[in-house]
Amino acid sequence: MCGLWVIAGCGGDDGTSGGTDTEATTEATTEASSSGTTAGPTTTTDATAGSESTGSSSDSSTTTETTETTETTETTDSTDPTDTDPTDSTDPTTEPGVCGDGQVDDGEECDDGNDDNTDTCVAGCLNATCGDGFVGPGESCDDANDDEDDGCGSNCALTSCGDGMIQGGEECDDGNDVDGDGCLNTCVVASCGDGVVYEGFEECDDGNASELDACTSLCAPPACDDQLQSGMESDVDCGGPVCPKCEVNDACEVPGDCETNQCDEGVCVLAASCKQLLEANPDAVDGVYDLDPDGNGPAPAFPAYCDMTTDG
């Protein structure tokens, strides 16, 4: 009988048996203990078995639902606008070079450390050129314009230059257009530094006062006996790959510039031992040499006899 008590098998008035629903849910969640990891899948299974009886037939259905949940961690990169680049080694306190200090700095064509505008380097640290307004080497005039009717031509020569007569501000006038014959086409006497090779007297003339290039201020190539620190020399007529080695107290760039093979803070110093001297100069002969074993230490240098015939 069907009453207050629920009895299996009791159904409705239509004779259909009551349904039995069973729901089993399994949830497995794995969470990482730190941000940035992905949580494991969560699986939910619903199993519903329904029985329907119509005559002698019976149907059964099972549904499985799987849900995978992925946890995403978003990372925000915060940049501090006050941070500075550690590789930036520029010192904002470094003062730029000054025109006239004798050193050629960025933006300068030359710097001879003087205010003479008749040489090869004029005001503003610029190389002297025709048209700059200064009468420089090889020029008889320079009015900074190209007006041919004002007495000074655009080639920085007086308009009367070339007529064979010395007049006005001309130093010479040989009436020809040959530059290398002692009288330039500007009617100025040839001289070293005017940028024109005076044939028979000059080997070169590059129009500048630099001693470090291929033509010195003597209008000759660098030499080890020109009494100049020229070419690749570390001091006057010594050092470098060509000239003899420098003596103690001369300037040096590398140890090989010195007779002693010792270069300390840009200056050739005494050797510490006879052997060091022999290594620097295999042709050294037996004799007395000054040595300084402790270099810049408190002990003074002293003379010592070195046997260079054997091993120093």
Percent of the chain with pLDDT over 90: 44
**pLDDT higher than threshold 50 for residue 69:** no
The whole-number pLDDT of residue 95 equals 62
Over residues 94-115, mean pLDDT: 85
* pLDDT tens-digit map of 248-300: 999 999 999 999 989 989 999 999 999 988 988 888 899 999 999 887 778 89
Which residue has better confidence, 295 or 192?
Answer: 192
Hey, how many other C-beta atoms are within 10 angstroms of the C-beta on 5? Answer: 7
The whole-number pLDDT of residue 55 equals 40
> Does a structural domain hold residue 2?
no
> Does a structural domain hold residue 142?
yes
Which long-range contacts does 192-198 make (Cβ < 8 Å, 24+ apart)?
A: 192/217, 192/218, 192/219, 193/119, 193/120, 193/137, 193/217, 193/219, 194/137, 194/138, 195/137, 195/138, 196/138
pLDDT bracket for residue 78 (50, 70, 90)? very low
Over residues 6-14, mean pLDDT: 42
Which residue has better confidence, 63 or 209?
Answer: 209
* pLDDT tens-digit map of 194-240: 999 999 999 999 998 889 899 999 999 999 999 999 999 999 999 99
> Does a structural domain hold residue 168?
yes
**pLDDT higher than threshold 70 for residue 40:** no
> Does a structural domain hold residue 176?
yes
The whole-number pLDDT of residue 294 equals 83
**pLDDT higher than threshold 70 for residue 170:** yes
Q: How many domains does the chain have?
A: 1
* pLDDT tens-digit map of 113-134: 999 999 999 999 999 999 999 9
Give dist(CA 272, CA 270) in Å, integer: 7
**pLDDT higher than threshold 80 for residue 46:** no
Which residue has better confidence, 173 or 43?
Answer: 173
> Does a structural domain hold residue 52?
no
List, as one string, the DSSP characters of 43-101: EE---------BTTB-------EEE-------------TT---TT----TTPPPP-TTS
Range of the domain at 129: 98-221
> Does a structural domain hold residue 295?
no
> Does a structural domain hold residue 45?
no
> Does a structural domain hold residue 141?
yes
